[in-house]
Chains A and B, each alone.
Chain A
Amino acid sequence: MPEVIEKDTLIGKRITKLDAPEKAGGKTRYIHDLNVPGQLYGKILRSSRVHALIKKIDTSKARALPGVHAVITAADVPYQRPIGVAKDHLPLKTDRVRSLRDEIAAVAAETPEIAEAALKLIEVEYEDLPVLTDPREALKPGAPLIHPEPHGADGKPEHLKPGMPVAYAGKPDNIAMTFDYGQGDVAQGERESDVVLEHTFRLHYVTHCCMGVSGIIAEFDPSGNLLMYSNTQVPFLHKREFAEILDMDPARIRIIQPPIGGGFGSKLDIYPFEPITVFLAKATRRPVKLVFTREEEFLASPTRQPVILTLRSGCRKDGTLTFRTVETLHDNGAYTSWGATTPFVMMQTISSLYRVSHCKYHTKAVYTNNPYAGSFRGYGNLQATFAVESHMDMLAEAIGMDPLEFRLKNAQDPGEVTPQGMHFKSCGFKDCLTTAARASDYSAKRRRYQAEQARPGRFKRGIGMASMLHVGGGAKIYPSDGCGTILKMDDFGAVTLLTGASEIGQGSETVLAQLVCEELGVPLSAVRVINNDTEITPWDVGVHASRTTFIAGNSAIGAARKARAKILAAAAGVAQMAPEELDLRAGHIVEARTGKMVMSLPKLLRQLHFNDKAELVMTSFYYEPPSKHQDKQFKGDVSAAYAWATQVVEVEVDTDTGIVRLLKVTGAHDVGRVLNRLGIEGQIEGGIVMGQGYALTEELMVENGVVKNPAFRDYKLVTAPEIPEMEVHFIETMDGEGPQGAKGVGEAPAICIAAATANAICNATGVRIFELPFTPEKVYRALHAARKEAA
């Protein structure tokens, strides 16, 4: 070591993710790779009817199959309780199936093959019921009801005895949830408008397509403690919910998360396969492992919520937005998961992405016999942004204003508190708009491509932009948005960071380690992050809402600062200097002003251990961001910070075939501050590709309640050859609350692509498409309908 150590930082550098070697080397042990001694294999029998009464289930042949240890139906688990956001969903169905994914029975056997063979031996008699698959029909009088009667009792403790069915109260109509929000007076807004537009947008089913399919291993120890190896994104909430479902003491439940092969929101809820696996473990007194097949993953994991959205909005000739009225109908599917609550986020885009005084928003999520929707990266914002940003272009065109200028005129500024109550303490929105526009040559290209629309030729080019607003400093959805950290230092100067925040591939481990290094002046190699065991790590609300860097990051910084203070105080005693005169750099205590080395950090730590205080450094910290729950009218400031972005998409349209190619995406993201440049670039590029799939190629085809394409052969993800050139700019607004100034960015990059692509296709061809995805067939038809109309 040199005598003098300069101040160095990892913040903003390109840091390889800590788990990269094992992932790239194929050494990561996902749930699929885990096996525990004595384990059995679970499989689930799902309904073969979309909507029917279950008249009889005969499991006798399956039970008789050698190698089968248990076959269970609802009758075997009278204690089961409904799960999900509205508690309307029994894991094993009692008397009725409401969608094709519905779980009727489950088997635990010595091999997956035997389990599957046993499923084939289970005989189910059904009585078909009328099927409801169009959400528009759900509200009509006489529509089949999906949850007509209570599925059992009311969940009162006295009804929890074995033999008593416990379930959901039932619904006299098909309305699962409604949301209403208003600000100002839309009628007045409409009177003040020079232009009013109204259009209906249709958003489709897509699903997460995690590389690692859903799976769980459940086992009880001889004392009755439950251990689950689970891919959940919310281990601590699940611990509590499982306790409720199983009527157990939460203290007896432990969740270990193996490395998770993709989450994207799909693992935010409890799904029937999880309690069912626990029931099997209970029935067999053996560990039971249940892992989906890919087909099952398509059929029985959640989707993004399909939405029919009617948007009416207006502006004045000078470009001032006047009002916005939105009516949406969400297809909830047969049960209620997080998808139903996405209006909470959609509303924010509608009310607060731009300044608009008068706003009204009404939405209904209705039950149908379709697959049910969960949470999915962006959480409703892709849908809302598609409509709002399509309309921004259309309004601009109607008043003859450049779409960039129109957006700039209405864009939010730092310091703004919106009528909904969101406070934009840092806001780089206008910078995002101008940076993305400049870097992509947006305005000149837009004019040129528009002029070229009428020219002959098969290929047309177009450019389009869209922007987004999303929570970036946590999200006050649950009573707490906190995350705990414990930080421990050993006598070699190594740091163990115990954090509640899960890693689901997003790179949070690396960022948390970097933040700790920044405080403690240790190299990255000195930090271990432990984040996957509820028995060891402190509480966290879960990975969602782009919150981990912000919340867990601040929590980690808090713990590291406590450790730093302790170390510097001890060092000050040894060095006979004031703590403020010292700094931590490269594993050493140095003089802050000169960088002159005072002593090595491990040496100091050993001294701490062996002196009479006998202490190695151990700190803990808890962080709760300054945000507050919305009131009943949805007013409030739900996040400590908000992220902004503008993305510009350039396309080429083959007008003879309808093929749309993305040529380039230029993004400008207000991320507060870049922490790990490599990580954030990867996050944004991945998000762009996910948005591209949503816009162009992905669609879960659901016909009469049946998923038609449960395989990658027919569900088309974007692959390398279609990925466009990407240019990403970072707007660093240095958020005052953010860890080192950073804000969340997890969901942001997927949000704008569909809207920007719609605008680009329109710029290329003059034709506006209101329905996703832009498949060749759909685009071809839209272009030809327009040609016919023109002729």
Chain B
Amino acid sequence: MIPPSFSYRAPATVSEALALLNESDGEAKVLAGGHSLLPMMKFRFAEPALLIDIGRIPELKGIRQVGNRIHIGAMTTENELLESALLKEKCPLLPEVVRWIADPQVRNRGTIGGDIAHGDPANDHPATMRALEAEFVLKSADGERVVAADDFYLGTYYTLLEANELLTEIRVPVLPPGTGYAYKKLKRKTGDFAIAAACVVLSLTGDKCERIAITLTNVGPTPLRAETAEKLLTGKAIDDQLVEQAAQLAMEICDPAEDLRGDKEYKIHMAGEMTRRAIREAIDRARGRK
């Protein structure tokens, strides 16, 4: 339970951090809130020679609107997301998801950047980011690239981030009025990761579903996007039967690992149940009923 020894640096700017990352040749790890990284180090799943603490870089903080997007600094904590009036108004799905993450202590230090960059399919932001079609700004000493959340997740703890790259910013859309959204997470108890969770973002024209995104947490090696279910519902007036069919399609793409939260079969059923609930609530919200 004692991590191996390591060096520690706390740069004051992003460019200093990038320089350190560049020099360290893959031996360094970025330290954000530490809530995922430190347990990994204690269990010796991660043994970085250098920790680069990015908690003292002011440019990595903050939430602001730029056109029809909201730009969120990677070091913004979960509690800051929760308290943001801007998000509450323009992208209320995000603070809603945050309330389901861990507990107040973890949310006090845990960051959105760390939650996303960690690449853990059990985390709640990744599926949300896919459903929102968010973009991530990745910087390195060589420059900057902007990638789609949809392309970011490659496998468990495996993302597009290169060893010399820093996730600096997360860009989520301002949700137009009338957007329906929901995050339904089933957990054994407060503070736990999801047994399964579903995120839905949709818009209606009249009764018809104009577009819909359905994503799933912790039922595969990455956050999953239920594309066949999305296709089924797009352009249709969603009734109970369609909800049921969509849930079945979502269940088909699940491939959860059996663990203390349940075996595959139970988790897949729960992913279906969460999908049903999320679609229904998103529709209710789009219709202004909730």
Question: Assuming the A-B contacts A701-B260, A777-B262, A781-B266, are A295 and B188 also in contact, with contact meaning beta carbons closer than 8 angstroms in the complex?
Answer: no
Contact across chains for B1 and A697 when beta carbons are under 8 A apart: no
Q: List chain B residues, Cβ under 8 A from A713.
A: 39
Contact A716–B1 (Cβ < 8 Å): no
Assess whether A697 is in contact with B189, with CB atoms less than 8 Å apart: yes
B28 within 8 A of A: no
CA of A719 to CA of B104 in the docked complex: distance in angstroms? 12
Residues of A near B230 (CB, < 8 A) are none
| Size bracket, chain B contacts | 10 to 19
Look across to chain A and name the residue whose beta carbon is closest to the beta carbon of B272. A656
B1 and A718 contact, CB distance less than 8 A: no
Is B66 interfacial (CB-CB < 8 Å)?
no
Interchain CA distance A109-B262 in the complex, whole Å: 42
B214 contacts the other chain (Cβ, under 8 Å)? no
- Cβ 8 A contact of B2, one of A113, A718, A722: A113
Chain A residues, Cβ within 8 Å of B273: 656-657
B1-27 Cβ-contact flags toward A at 8 Å (1 or 0): 110000000000000000000000000
Q: Nearest residue in B to A711 (C-beta to C-beta)? A: B39
Say if the beta carbon of A116 comes within 8 Å of chain B: yes
Contact between B260 and A657, CB atoms less than 8 A apart: no
Flag if A776 contacts B262 (CB, 8 Å): yes
Q: Indicate if A443 sits at the interface (CB-CB under 8 A).
A: no
Interface flag for B241 (CB, 8 Å): no
Interface mask (B224-250 → A, CB under 8 Å = 1, otherwise 0): 000000000000000000000000000
Interchain CB contact under 8 A, B1 and A294:
yes
A415 at the interface (CB under 8 A from B): no
User: Scoring B residues 152 to 196 as 1 if CB is less than 8 Å from chain A, else 0, what string do you get?
Assistant: 000000000000000000000000000000000010111110010
> Which residue from A295, A659, A775 sits with its C-beta under 8 Å from B1?
A295
- Is residue B261 contacting chain A, with contact meaning CB distance below 8 A? yes
Our pick among B39, B103, B186, B189 for the contact of A716 (Cβ within 8 Å) is B189
- Asked if B59 is at the interface (CB within 8 A of a chain A CB), the reply is no
Q: Could you say which interface size class chain A belongs to? A: 20 to 34
Residues of A within 8 A of B195 (CB): 776-777
Residues of B within 8 A of A714 (CB): 260
**Does A240 sit at the interface, judged by CB under 8 A?**
no
Given contacts A701-B260, A714-B260, A780-B266, contact A719 B39 (CB under 8 A): no
**Is A721's beta carbon under 8 Å from chain B?**
yes
In-complex Cβ contact of A777 among B39, B103, B189, B263 (8 A): B263
Residues of A within 8 A of B190 (CB): 719-722
Interface readout for A705-747 with B: 1 if CB under 8 Å, 0 if not?
Answer: 0001100011010111110000000000000000000000000
Docked CA distance A308–B195 (Å): 28
Residue in chain B with minimal CB distance to A709: B260
Q: Using a CB-CB cutoff of 8 Å, which residues 747-791 of chain A contact chain B?
A: 775-777, 780-781
Most central of B189, B262, B269, B273 by chain A CB within 10 Å = B189
Q: Once the chains are docked, how many angstroms separate the CA of A224 from the CA of B191?
A: 50
B266 nearest in chain A by CB position: A777
Contacts of A116 in B (CB 8 A): 2
Please give, as numbers and ranges, the residues of chain A lying within 8 Å of B103 by CB-CB distance: 719
Enumerate chain A residues within 8 angstroms of B1, measured Cβ to Cβ.
293-296
- Report the minimum CB–CB distance from A602 to chain B (whole Å): 49
A–B complex contacts, Cβ < 8 Å, 12 sampled? A657-B273, A701-B260, A716-B188, A718-B189, A719-B191, A722-B189, A775-B262, A776-B195, A776-B262, A777-B261, A777-B263, A781-B266
